[in-house]
Amino acid sequence: MMFGKIVVGLDGSEQSERALRLACDLAGKYGSDLHLVHTPQPHTVAFAMGAVSGYHMATTMPSREQVDQAGEKIFDAARAIVKEMGQTVTQTHMQMGDPGDHIIASAKEVGADLIVTGRRGLGSVGSLLQGSTTQRVNHLAECACLSVI
């Protein structure tokens, strides 16, 4: 099978939603398993918790409870998109740390054939972070990578 297992990196941004929709489309064509990966960062947690104005200014990590709540919000939104597109989520992976490293580790763990990420993510800081995440994933991945504009 061409893409048996697809890993999708999520940060709650429109870019990552587009990446997820494309991954769902491919999963429909190839009967792929979908693995969703989210690595909480201060700005993604603030964004998911609704602190939209000035969320890119968040620099300190919120509490573990806030991180978990924000991660579940991002996964819930993703699950709704996956369901709407007629697919199912095989597994979700949430871990603290560097998003690029976490995506790569998750892809290795599940034996992914494809990693899909948005080229840019949230806000001014986010676009730099997500951009560097995508570059890191493309550089280190042991499978095909697709970065979605």
> In the chain, where are the structural domains located?
10-120+133-148
**Topology of domain 10-120+133-148, CATH:** Rossmann fold (3.40.50)
Residue 56 pLDDT grade (very low, low, confident, very high; cuts 50, 70, 90): low
Of 70, 34, 79, 68, the closest CA to residue 50 belongs to: 70
List, for residues 98-122, the tens digit of each pLDDT value.
899 999 999 999 999 999 998 876 6
CA angle, 124 then 129 then 131, to 5°? 95
Q: What is the DSSP letter of 120?
A: S
Reported in sequence order, the residue ranges of the chain that DSSP labels E, i.e. its strands, are: 5-10, 33-38, 89-94, 114-118, 144-148
Residue 146 contacts residue 112 (beta carbons within 8 Å): no
Q: Record the tokens describing residue 4, joined without a space.
A: 């048996």
Residue 134 pLDDT grade (very low, low, confident, very high; cuts 50, 70, 90): confident
Strands 5-10 and 114-118: parallel
Residue 53 pLDDT grade (very low, low, confident, very high; cuts 50, 70, 90): low
